[in-house]
Structure 1
């Protein structure tokens, strides 16, 4: 999920499912449009450096769609801090847009509300067929065994971004391939006002993405095979402690990062305050902050063996943005036409080039623009060493509960309070107790 700023949802998915089911066909204007076959409402997520940048990027493409189809698209770009709550409120009330962006980690949670249009084979055929999309991206579009709740729009993966000069100045010849190497390099770098690694300790979704990958590396998951929360296993506890220990024990993360939640770590990296960053498709943002492409390098996120792969060598979640249609839209044909347009080869190339992401449409990926050194690492990761977050109805509550536990542990570390295996297990026990029964 891009930009990683999702706020906690105050209402459970179970309650929302009941509310959505009770609202029937919704209001006379259905999915948020004006009931006209010539108008659509589109909620876009904030993918660029700011909302105005997104409007500047998307508006010409929406005008192109209007010219071709006669359908006007009313655009609203919603910041990540508001998007999940806005969507959840819309699923409960029936007062949503016709088409919307969702973080792919939310797919199963929103699918469980019954508010989104299911993408069965017949519906997929209206946009060119299911087989146009990369399997890994479709794997994060809804619960296993069910028709997807959305289609992939932008694909992303995590990488280790590093400041070439900072590593060279510290005598580090190569970007670290293992965590031991990262910590060792980090201790050389963290001096004279510069820190080795940037994190966003108050960013709940980013916390989840990082500890999910580390849990995989410890042979654990946060849900068992039946889909029940399993937050307190030895592997999950070790993963959270390892992540927080970059600040608490290893001291390669600035204590102030405990309060970061709005891309401050990207700004620190761009300004040379930190030398390394674990992020997804960050190149376009670095450029917007004034960095030159030669200033940074991109390497796979470290794994214990030094060689990314599956299982304990997983090094990213399958990140991305999906495009969904509200089931009660009064302009379903127009909405499907819009999804077809946005997932066409032409638009996939334009939008993913602009945002620095990877097209989830196979044929669009063949464009040479997606073979840059930066994107080559991300493509390799998505193809060989990324895993989707659990596609369970409680995923959004998981992000809130465990993401908050990690946030509070970072606060302890920043304040100099000890972070121990026992305190981590207690925090995760509390988080598990907050999950729906």
Structure 2
């Protein structure tokens, strides 16, 4: 079901948030090393659309609207995902960065640990409309437990299993798979004549770690213990990763070439009928851009093993994009106004409609535009079957190392090499050895 409707924030309250005094978000005006003035802001946006140019087409009219309301001009740079984390880490180390930026929500705790991001304490939340406006699941991926969030949710997403209705019908399959075992069995029926049962993005480190985490939860694995120590090569983690690698390896239901996919090629394969299933975050806008009608596909939760119960029925990480403010911004007051604007109900409707994502703000999610079958399924997953990635300081290293380990294993499977439990364990152990000391 879609996010629960909530009482809208009064217009006066949002107007007040957009008319902050010079004290800024954090209770004081910062004079960091970023160049600028109280009438300018720099904003690094992540690539959410079909291209960097598409993002500019979506965002620039909205930034002009903000300038008209506040007198603050925003200089926009859309940063590709392949560069974004490294750019942010360089900025946190040097102190030279934008005023406001998008971050992958799973990076929140890692970037929070650098001390470079402005904490959203109760007073700061009050200035951007209030903490209670945001869906609880999205705030769980905004920083380490017990600490003030390092960012606020901007776009929310969850993984779903997209399936081609016509191809399913032609194969005599009348419903989406309800278990991982069914997914594999259906995939074998659908793999024929140069078409494969499922498409994956094996060269994409982030996609790999997202699936490793979700499948890990389904197998009862935690990649970190209660003390924050890595435990990447546990038997449950090994079983989870092997089940994913087997899609190319032992099960042969994903094309060997998928091991090299890293730029949304799997979405293209699904949209063009080269693959019958796809595990993806809010794919609707991308599928439409490829000419696929939404009537031609269905969306279901990514299935867990048949024996899974409780949290083992997790079908997605809590996916999404957060909006953060650099603590040393030259214009904290303007940055706070911009945060209030971007998370305001009307702007949330505009932006999430454009990107096919789910508003993390309750007073926007009740819009009928977010009641499509796709987004209803994903909203239900987000509310009931999603878990946040580990909110530990070394989370970004975990993503890189485990995602790369899975990439290496998929490449081996694609080359026809046997990938056994021992092979997976060795690769995950190597990733764990490269983790920084706790």
Q: Same fold (TM over 0.5)?
A: yes
Q: Distance in 1 between matches of 2:149 and 2:208?
A: 26
Counterpart of 2:22 in structure 1 is none
Asked if the contact 1:398/1:435 (under 8 Å) is kept, the reply is yes
Q: How many residues align?
A: 408
Counterpart of 1:23 in structure 2 is none
Q: Distance in 2 between matches of 1:419 and 1:190?
A: 21
Aligned: 1:392 with 2:392: yes
How far residue 251 of structure 1 moved from its aligned partner, in angstroms, is: 0.5
Counterpart of 1:104 in structure 2 is 105
- Sort the Cα spacing of 1:356 and 1:31 in 2 relative to 1 into closer, same or farther, 3 A: farther
How far residue 306 of structure 1 moved from its aligned partner, in angstroms, is: 8.5
Counterpart of 1:378 in structure 2 is 378
How far residue 271 of structure 1 moved from its aligned partner, in angstroms, is: 1.1
Find the residue that maps to 1:161 and give its secondary structure.
strand
Aligned: 1:53 with 2:54: yes
Q: Distance in 1 between matches of 2:32 and 2:338?
A: 17
- Sort the Cα spacing of 1:78 and 1:244 in 2 relative to 1 into closer, same or farther, 3 A: same
Counterpart of 1:11 in structure 2 is none
Find the residue that maps to 1:196 and give its secondary structure.
coil
Aligned: 1:121 with 2:158: no
Find the residue that maps to 2:103 and give its secondary structure.
strand
How far residue 310 of structure 1 moved from its aligned partner, in angstroms, is: 4.1
Counterpart of 1:193 in structure 2 is 194
Counterpart of 1:65 in structure 2 is 66
- Sort the Cα spacing of 1:310 and 1:40 in 2 relative to 1 into closer, same or farther, 3 A: farther
Asked if the contact 1:177/1:306 (under 8 Å) is kept, the reply is no
How far residue 61 of structure 1 moved from its aligned partner, in angstroms, is: 0.4
Q: Distance in 2 between matches of 1:360 and 1:87?
A: 23
Counterpart of 2:32 in structure 1 is 30
Find the residue that maps to 2:50 and give its secondary structure.
coil
Alignment deviations for residues 342-363 of structure 1 (CA, whole Å, 9 cap, x no partner): 0000000110011010110111
Asked if the contact 1:31/1:326 (under 8 Å) is kept, the reply is no
Alignment deviations for residues 304-357 of structure 1 (CA, whole Å, 9 cap, x no partner): 2489x7411111000000000000001000000000000000000110011010
Alignment deviations for residues 168-208 of structure 1 (CA, whole Å, 9 cap, x no partner): 11111111111111111111110101001111111111111
- Structure 1: which 5+ runs fail to align? 1-27
* TM-score relative to the length of structure 1: 0.92
Q: Distance in 2 between matches of 1:31 and 1:55?
A: 26
Counterpart of 1:205 in structure 2 is 206
Counterpart of 1:355 in structure 2 is 355
Q: Distance in 2 between matches of 1:131 and 1:247?
A: 44
Q: Which structure 2 residues correspond to residues 314-333 of structure 1 after superposition, within 5 A?
A: 314-333=314-333
Q: Which structure 2 residues correspond to residues 74-153 of structure 1 after superposition, within 5 A?
A: 74-153=75-154
How far residue 30 of structure 1 moved from its aligned partner, in angstroms, is: 3.0
Q: Distance in 2 between matches of 1:372 and 1:35?
A: 42
Asked if the contact 2:31/2:328 (under 8 Å) is kept, the reply is no
Counterpart of 1:246 in structure 2 is 247
Asked if the contact 2:181/2:306 (under 8 Å) is kept, the reply is no
Find the residue that maps to 1:409 and give its secondary structure.
helix
Q: Which structure 2 residues correspond to residues 153-168 of structure 1 after superposition, within 5 A?
A: 153-168=154-169
Counterpart of 1:404 in structure 2 is 404
Find the residue that maps to 2:276 and give its secondary structure.
strand
- Structure 2: which 5+ runs fail to align? 1-29
Counterpart of 2:5 in structure 1 is none
Alignment deviations for residues 133-167 of structure 1 (CA, whole Å, 9 cap, x no partner): 11100000000010000000000000000111111
Counterpart of 2:26 in structure 1 is none
Find the residue that maps to 1:119 and give its secondary structure.
coil
CA RMSD of aligned residues (A): 1.2
Q: Distance in 2 between matches of 1:323 and 1:299?
A: 29
